[in-house]
Amino acid sequence: MAKPLRVVTAALLFLTAIAATGGRPVCAKEAAADTGITFETILEVEHTARLLAILLDSGRSVINENQDIFDEPGTSGKGLAPDVFERQLTDMFRSRSGVDLHNLNAGHVPGQAKKLMKELVAVSRHVVADVQSERNPSGKPGRFIPAIFGDRVAALFTERTGVRMKQTTLAPRNVANAPDSTERSALEFFADPSYPREKPIGETTAKSGIFRLMFPLYTTRRCLDCHGEPKGELDRTGYPKEGLKLGQNAGAISVIIPIAK
């Protein structure tokens, strides 16, 4: 495995803070004096980033499951009304995160997450509604696939909220998805089959005031149509397949959130 990542989850940051004071435990208030950021804040931001990553990935999965509708000749995605998409997204997100988007006050969801998740749902819905004005090239499958959905949603979401989201992998098809050094280190962890499933890697950079989360993605059966075997064979979008197997890590969603002090 390559160089160890500066993994700074809230818990580890706490340990770092303890070490820095010569073993004397520091409370959140004391830590705040150094960095301007409390542990509570970091825990909340981490929780928020994780929910956003699961929500974007849930949207990708809903697109994946409805791929046939987006591939139909003529206008793309006409058979998937935005309301139906949103219902499927809500169901998928609830089953994966345990959070009900229609009842956000029921669970322990940070206030920041509530606002951002509503915006992410609105943006996802907008992208799905918008694609219906696009026409598929005649005789060819549609261009609207999970990664394109993810790109469009992430771009619009960043424009509206300042929170950055990106789909990345070690050997990307699209250079725009190439990992930076932090993302690369996390992806190397995720690629190890013994790495715990769905365990994100978080990092706080107190100086620049940002929190980063890398959330691993895994292949479902339908991803394998394009990313599966045989390796090197061209998929229907014209890219060589990666030779991935069912359930294997397929990259990550990277989330970058400014920390409000």
Task: Determine whether 234 is exposed, middle or buried from the number of CB atoms within 10 Å of its CB (0-12, 13-18, 19+).
Answer: exposed
Closest to 198 (Cα-Cα) out of 1, 8, 42, 50: 50
The answer for 49, left when phi > 0, alpha when psi is -120 to 50, beta otherwise, is alpha
* Residue 254 · residue 181 · CB < 8 Å: no
* Residue 42 · residue 13 · CB < 8 Å: yes
Q: Which residues contact 65 (CB under 8 A, 6 or more apart)?
A: 88, 222
Q: Using the rule CB under 6 A, which residue among 35, 76, 167, 254 binds ligand HEC? A: 167
Decide: is 35 part of the binding site for ligand HEC (CB under 6 A): no
Phi, psi of 237 (to 5 degrees): -95, 0
Closest to 86 (Cα-Cα) out of 103, 110, 62, 104: 62
Residue 174 Cβ vs ligand HEC, minimum distance, rounded to whole Å: 3
Q: Using the rule CB under 6 A, which residue among 237, 243, 248, 258 binds ligand HEC? A: 237
Considering the complex, state which of residue 67 and residue 161 has its C-beta at the smaller distance from ligand HEC.
67
Q: Which range in 27-35, 74-82, 118-126, 172-180 contacts ligand HEC by CB under 6 A? A: 172-180
Considering the complex, state which of residue 25 and residue 240 has its C-beta at the smaller distance from ligand HEC.
240
Interface characters, 193-232, with ligand HEC (x: CB under 6 A): ------------------------x-xx-xx-xxx-----
Cβ atoms within 10 Å of 258's Cβ, excluding its own:
14
Q: Which range in 60-68, 85-93, 185-193, 200-208 contacts ligand HEC by CB under 6 A? A: 60-68
Considering the complex, state which of residue 71 and residue 100 has its C-beta at the smaller distance from ligand HEC.
71
Considering the complex, state which of residue 50 and residue 227 has its C-beta at the smaller distance from ligand HEC.
227
For residue 46, the number of C-alpha atoms closer than 13 Å in the C-beta half-sphere is: 21
Decide: is 90 part of the binding site for ligand HEC (CB under 6 A): no
User: Cα(115)–Cα(120) distance, rounded to whole angstroms?
Assistant: 9
Q: Using the rule CB under 6 A, which residue among 161, 177, 205, 248 binds ligand HEC? A: 177
Decide: is 132 part of the binding site for ligand HEC (CB under 6 A): no
Q: Which range in 47-55, 91-99, 117-125, 169-177 contacts ligand HEC by CB under 6 A? A: 169-177
Q: For binding to ligand HEC (CB under 6 A), which residues are involved?
A: 60-61, 64, 145-147, 151, 167-169, 172-174, 177, 217, 219-220, 222-223, 225-227, 235-237, 239, 250-251
